[in-house]
Amino acid sequence: MNGSTDLSIVHLALNASLLVQLVMALLLGISFVSWLFIFHKMFSIRSAKRKTEDFERRFRNAQTAQDLNGLLQAAANQGAHAGSLEKICLAGFREFWRLRRQAGQTTPVIMDGARRAMRATYQREMDGIESHLNFLASAGSVSPYIGLFGTVWGIMNSFRGLANVSQATLAAVAPGIAEALVATAIGLFAAIPAVIAYNHYIRDVDRLATRFESFMEEFSNLLQRQPPA
C-alpha cells in the first residue's frame, strides 16, 4: 500500500461517492437529533420524577381535608407548570365535586366520572412523557441498516473500479472499502446511544406510569370516603 495514501476518516468521508456522502450526512443528522432528544428526555423525566415525589410527600403529610384542598389549590395555581400527578389528581377532584353538586347523582356514578377524568389526564400526561421515545427507538433500529446500505454501495463502486485497472492490488481497493466502512461506523455511532437511552428511559416511564396508576387508586379511595354533601 502506498504510504502516502491518506486513510483518515475525514479524508475518506470527503472523497466518498455522492450517495455514500448523503448516507453519512443523513446518519449524522439522525445522531444529532437523537442526542437532542436524549438530553431533553433526561431533563424532562428527571423533572417528572422530582415533581411526583414532591407531591406524594406533601399528600402523605396532609392531615385534614383542608390541607388536601390547599394542596390541590396550589396545583391549580401552577397551571401548566404543575406536575403530571398533580394534574391527574386535580382533574379527578374537580370532576368529583362537579358531579357531586348535581342532583340525583349516585356515588358509583360520581366515582366513575372522577376516575374517567383522571384516566383521560393520565393518558395526556403519559403521551407527553413518552414523546420522542419512538424516534430514539427508530434511530436505534434503522441507523445500522442505513449505514450498511452506504457500505454495500461503496464496496460495489470499489469493485467496479477494479475493472478499469490492469492489476488488482490492495492499494487500489483499500481506500474505496475503507470509505464505505465509514458509513457503517457512523450508523453504529448513531444507533448505539439511541438504543441505550431508549431502554433506560422506557424503564423510567414504566415506573412513573405504575406510580401514577397506584396513586390514582389511592386518591379514588380517598374521594369515595368523603362524607355526603
- The residue type found at 27 is L
Q: What does the angle CA 88 – CA 52 – CA 107 come to, to the nearest 5 degrees?
A: 30
In the predicted structure, residue 211 carries a pLDDT above the cut 90: yes
Domain ranges of the chain: 9-224
Phi-psi group of 176: left, alpha or beta (phi > 0 → left; psi -120 to 50 → alpha; rest → beta): alpha
* pLDDT reported for residue 159: 74
In the predicted structure, residue 216 carries a pLDDT above the cut 70: yes
86 grid coordinates: 398533580
Q: At what angle do helices 107-130 and 84-100 cross, to 10 degrees?
A: 160
pTM here is 0.81
Read off the pLDDT of each residue in 117-123 and give the average, rounded to a whole number: 95
Lowest-pLDDT range of 8-22, 26-40, 54-68, 161-175: 161-175
Specify which of 102-106, 108-112, 116-120, 221-225 reaches the highest per-range mean pLDDT: 116-120
* pLDDT reported for residue 118: 94
In the predicted structure, residue 145 carries a pLDDT above the cut 90: yes
What's the pLDDT band for 72 if we cut at 50, 70, 90? confident
What's the pLDDT band for 177 if we cut at 50, 70, 90? confident
What is d(CA 221, CA 149) in angstroms, rounded to the nearest whole number?
57
What's the pLDDT band for 62 if we cut at 50, 70, 90? confident
pLDDT digits (tens, 9 = 90+) for 178-191: 777 888 889 999 99
Nearest alpha carbon to residue 19 among 159, 191, 152: 152
In the predicted structure, residue 15 carries a pLDDT above the cut 80: no
pLDDT digits (tens, 9 = 90+) for 90-102: 999 899 888 888 8
